[in-house]
Homo-oligomer: A and B are copies of this chain.
Amino acid sequence: MARLRVGLAQINAVVGDLDGNAARIVAAYDAAAAEGCDLVVFPELTVTGYPPEDLLLKPAFVAAAGETIAKLASLTGDCAAVIGFPEQADDLYNSAAVCARGQVLGVYRKQLLPNYSVFDEQRYFKASTEIGPRFEIAGLSVAVSICEDAWEPGPIVAMAQSGADVVVNINASPYFAGRVRQRETMLAGRAVQTGVPIVYVNLVGGQDELVFDGASLVVDAGGAVVGRAKQFEEDLLVVELDPATGAAGRIEPVLDPVREVYEALVLGTRDYVRKNGFTDVLISLSGGVDSSLVAAIAVDALGAEHVNGVMLPSRYSSEGSVADAVALSERLGIRTYLVPIEPAQAAFEGMLAPVFEGRAPDVAEENLQARIRGNAVMTISNKFGWMVLSCGNKSEMATGYATLYGDMAGGFAVIKDVPKTLVYALCRDLNARVGHDVIPQAVIDKPPSAELRPDQKDTDSLPEYDVLDPIIEGYVEDDESVSQLIARGFDNELVRRVARMVDRNEYKRRQAPPGVRVSRKAFGKDRRPPITNRWPG
């Protein structure tokens, strides 16, 4: 009976890096061939990285990607390779080339082009209506499909009906919390529906807002997971696939839900920093839980020696703020600087006194402090070439409880898609996992405060976070209306106030740095409301 030895080459491709991606493909191909694979499968648009966005509008880029796939095909031997690339024919297609023995044996063109959420594939590609060729590999008939093709029954059912023994599905499937289980449930159902095993290969790595989480897998014809690659790491998973008798491969565990988010944040941060040519980062440490978590993530992403903290106390900072930041820094082993901002604050107040004559202090003076800090971290960043990581969480981004050009300043906003309640869970989970308080308990225990005026607390302006976060989830992630939220039992006045805050602060979010998407709807390309908008929610 025919058996297929297949390698799932879960690589970390870099957008636009055609030569680098080709080298990554060749290395994984050689490793798979050395392990005796009949077939090695790479992710969607392997050659360009995903998503290449408007690079696809550049004819020279698309032409170069075509030349790269031809060169890669010429390097193949008996082991076949499925490699994703943008294919310029009568139109542009999101395609997979099947290559072996120095040639492109055939090409499959994606049929279902996602154009929702973070996806804009109809901006670039034409949808194919063909189920594509079958490939005889190791005595089995192999069909190829791409990502979205698996999420509707049509394409894979047609492939099975046309006689495929195995369906390959190549992906660039971005992470959000719980996504692995959703994928596996869908794939198991599709395998059972069609009676064919599915080889699902995902990209891994961070690209701007997105993290591709890997976790490539094989489901057998009965829907059982018979192989699973690592989450959040490059991997080459080899699975022996026998459609008649089943299959066997390494099965990596799925991380628990909170840990999974943490690892997504680590990978997203590491790749954004490094792929953009930076080695070191700078974090403004307030002694609060957000900046403490970001510092811990940065250390896991880049190593403590590449993480720099700066403490920027003002006249309103509590004693504990600097002490807590110092305690954190010592536990993480990172370098810190202390720059009290009083001189700049006093200078600005003097400069603006004639303009502000007769006006009482208000939120303008609070934002002024935050922007002095923003300026200080950016000036240090410019001087030393360190990327600033900003520390705003999703609850703040949603409500606009943040200062534009102040605490929002930075190259990457690590936890912008993490609600405050999840920030606490991540801190607790981290401390429990490492077995000691990396995040000092005092940081977790104290009431959140921006410390921009005497005795300020977040709850002066916002409801408690365990009340606020579910409203944000309903309004932002589920597009529930104000009326629906009230009908679900949330306080009428509170829901209206939160909806208004969310909508009125779109202008701020539009100027925020990118950050890692970990929810099913993040601010950024995932959610595109107008700024000018009179709909009351």
CB within 8 Å of B: which A493-537 residues: 507, 510-514, 527-535
User: Hey, which chain B residues are within 8 Å of A479, CB to CB?
Assistant: 54, 57-59
Q: How many residues of A contact B (CB 8 A)?
A: 84
Alpha-carbon separation in the docked complex, A440 to B148 (Å): 59
- Kindly state whether residue A1 has any CB partner on chain B within 8 Å: no
Contact of A535 among B16, B276, B341 (CB under 8 A): B16
User: Hey, which chain B residues are within 8 Å of A271, CB to CB?
Assistant: 532
Give A93-109 as 1s and 0s: 1 = Cβ < 8 Å from B's Cβ atoms.
00000000000000000
* Contact in complex: B530, A51 (CB < 8 Å): yes
Alpha-carbon separation in the docked complex, A17 to B483 (Å): 17
CB within 8 Å of B: which A72-105 residues: none
- Kindly state whether residue A60 has any CB partner on chain B within 8 Å: yes
User: Hey, which chain B residues are within 8 Å of A340, CB to CB?
Assistant: 351
Stretch at the interface among A139-147, A241-249, A358-366: A358-366
Give A341-356 as 1s and 0s: 1 = Cβ < 8 Å from B's Cβ atoms.
1011011101110111
Stretch at the interface among A23-31, A194-202, A372-380, A394-402: A372-380
* Given A61-B481, A343-B350, A511-B513, 17 more pairs with CB closer than 8 A: A15-B532, A15-B534, A17-B535, A51-B530, A61-B535, A115-B120, A120-B528, A208-B532, A276-B532, A337-B355, A343-B347, A346-B347, A348-B375, A351-B376, A364-B383, A371-B405, A411-B507
User: Hey, which chain B residues are within 8 Å of A15, CB to CB?
Assistant: 530, 532-535
* Contact in complex: B53, A528 (CB < 8 Å): yes
Residue of B nearest to A207 (CB): B532
Residue of B nearest to A16 (CB): B535
Give A5-39 as 1s and 0s: 1 = Cβ < 8 Å from B's Cβ atoms.
00000000011111010000000000000000000
User: Hey, which chain B residues are within 8 Å of A404, CB to CB?
Assistant: 378, 409
Alpha-carbon separation in the docked complex, A142 to B411 (Å): 55
**10 closest residue pairs by CB, A with B:** A16-B535, A60-B481, A364-B382, A17-B534, A343-B347, A347-B347, A364-B383, A405-B405, A16-B534, A371-B375
Most buried by B among A310, A479, A533: A533
User: Hey, which chain B residues are within 8 Å of A57, CB to CB?
Assistant: 479
- Kindly state whether residue A316 has any CB partner on chain B within 8 Å: no
Given contacts A507-B411, A530-B51, A533-B15, contact A380 B363 (CB under 8 A): no
CB within 8 Å of B: which A231-277 residues: 271-272, 275-276
User: Hey, which chain B residues are within 8 Å of A529, CB to CB?
Assistant: 53-55
Alpha-carbon separation in the docked complex, A356 to B123 (Å): 47
Given contacts A15-B534, A351-B340, contact A483 B60 (CB under 8 A): yes
Residue of B nearest to A14 (CB): B534
Given contacts A14-B532, A59-B479, contact A375 B378 (CB under 8 A): no
- Kindly state whether residue A492 has any CB partner on chain B within 8 Å: no
Measured CB to CB, the closest approach of chain B to A507, in angstroms, equals 6
Alpha-carbon separation in the docked complex, A271 to B533 (Å): 12
Alpha-carbon separation in the docked complex, A382 to B383 (Å): 29
Given contacts A16-B530, A351-B376, contact A383 B371 (CB under 8 A): no
Alpha-carbon separation in the docked complex, A243 to B479 (Å): 48
User: Hey, which chain B residues are within 8 Å of A528, CB to CB?
Assistant: 53-54, 120, 123
Most buried by B among A15, A52, A54, A347: A347
Measured CB to CB, the closest approach of chain B to A199, in angstroms, equals 28
- Kindly state whether residue A484 has any CB partner on chain B within 8 Å: yes
